[in-house]
Structure 1
């Protein structure tokens, strides 16, 4: 048998949609999301700044353009001097090798000529 004591309150409770209601207000949730975003951005910026500061020692020292130009000019001059010395040494070695070859042929000629005279 059906219960005849149904009240209007019972009917509204059973027909109403039950949903979870937020405990905090929308403004509070948005402000907390903004705070977390700002904190994350600050942490990222701090990490980048720390990494950039840690790599300062590996970078080239800052020099005035004039001092850099002087160093570059000195290096180019040293390279030219080294190249000229190498060329002079190469020419000297080639001349010495040619002289040694001519002396070798002369020695061979004289040995061959002297051996014939001793045989007579």
Structure 2
């Protein structure tokens, strides 16, 4: 014979609604979520600051306009002096080359003239 109590319990278990109940409180879960959010935002801010700081090396330093104008003037003056020096060196080289050609021609003439006079 079947047990009536057992079947009655089985029927009541089958008709009951089962729900999962949280092990931790709602405040603890919110606290963990906020802690994760704060940690993620701090990591993101740190990464952004590191990337922006690494990009500072390629930037020009901030300089006052007067100082910048002075540096530009000095650079232009140095460039003009460099051009003048190169021009002077070029002219000296051309003069030396012309003098060398003249002396070479004179040497050839003298060698040719000296060889004839000694043969006579």
Shift of 1:3: 3.0
Runs of 5+ consecutive residues of structure 2 not aligned to the other structure: none
Q: Does the residue aligned with 1:5 lie in a helix, a strand or coil?
A: helix
Deviations 1:92-116 (A, max 9, x none): 1011111101111111111111110
Aligned residues: 120
Runs of 5+ consecutive residues of structure 1 not aligned to the other structure: none
Shift of 1:26: 4.5
- CA–CA distance in 2 between the matches of 1:57 and 1:4? 85
Aligned partner of 1:77 in structure 2 is 77
TM-score by length of 1: 0.74
Deviations 1:43-101 (A, max 9, x none): 43245446756887886553211101101110111011111111110121011111101
Matches of residues 1-120 of structure 1 in structure 2 within 5 Å?
2-14=2-14, 16=16, 18=18, 20-26=20-26, 28-46=28-46, 48-49=48-49, 61-120=61-120
- CA–CA distance in 2 between the matches of 1:70 and 1:57? 24
